[in-house]
Amino acid sequence: MIIPLMKGLALTFKRFINPFTCVTESYPDIRPRLAKRFRGLPELQVEDDGREKCVACGLCAKVCPSQCISIEGAEDEHFRRYPKMYELDSFRCIFCGFCEEACPERAILLGDSFELATDKNSGILDKEKLLESARRKKS
């Protein structure tokens, strides 16, 4: 009867003297450390020359279960396909990551932004918005 009680006391004391065991996240002050495979808002990726990787094949739009992606493709002067319009409705996105899986060019990846609350009543992000974070990382 006494030994389990002592074990309990030893455990709590061990936790007490080692502050690094603390699991509480002080979130607004310190950003939580996200897992590598964390699924945040999808982001479009860029090539080394700053152009978007996307070739407007439309697979992501096709596979998206909540149908939040809409694409309009076009060709540039070198006959290279690019998305003239790429819109993602962040209100409808369910962060499933299917778009990332479907993309043959790895042009859309789920990033680590999760603070998506907004006071606007439309969450549609255009191509520039979706490219922003990838461009920031490049430069």
Partner 1 sequence: MDKELFVFLIIASVKIFIVFNVVQVMVIAMIWFERKIMAHMQVRLGPMRVGFHGLLQPIADGIKLLFKEDIIPAKAEKILFVLAPVMTLVPALCTFAVIPFGEAINIFGYHIDMVITDINVGILYILAVSSMGIYGIVMAGWSSNNKYSLLGGIRSSAQMISYELTIGLSLIGVIMMTGSLSMVDIVNAQSKMWNLVLQPLGFIIYAISAIAEVNRCPFDIPEAETELVAGYHTEYSSMKFSMFFMAEYANMITVSAIAVTFFFGGWHGPYLPGVVWFMLKLSFCLFGFIWLRSTFPRLRYDQLMHFGWKILLPLSLFNILITGLIMVVRGL
By the criterion CB under 8 A, which residues form the site for partner 1?
A: 5, 8-9, 11-13, 15-16, 19, 21-24, 26
Q: CB-wise, 20 or 79, nearer to partner 1?
A: 20
Instruction: Report the half-sphere exposure of 110 (CA within 13 A, side-chain side).
Output: 20
In angstroms, the Cα distances linking 83 to 96, 129, 131, 136, 137 are: 22, 14, 12, 20, 21
Of the pair 1, 35, the CB lying nearest partner 1 is at 1
Residue number, 22 or 117, with CB nearest to partner 1:
22
In the complex, least distance from residue 110 CB atom to partner 1, rounded to whole angstroms = 30
The Cα angle at residue 98 between residues 107 and 118, in degrees rounded to 5:
80
Least distance (Å) from partner 1 to the CB of residue 34?
Answer: 20
From the CB of 90, what's the least distance to partner 1, in Å?
31
- For partner 1, which is the closer residue by CB, 31 or 138? 31
Minimum CB distance to partner 1 smaller for 31 or for 137: 31
Please state the closest distance from residue 3 (CB atom) to partner 1, in A.
Answer: 14
Smallest distance, partner 1 to C-beta of residue 23, A = 5
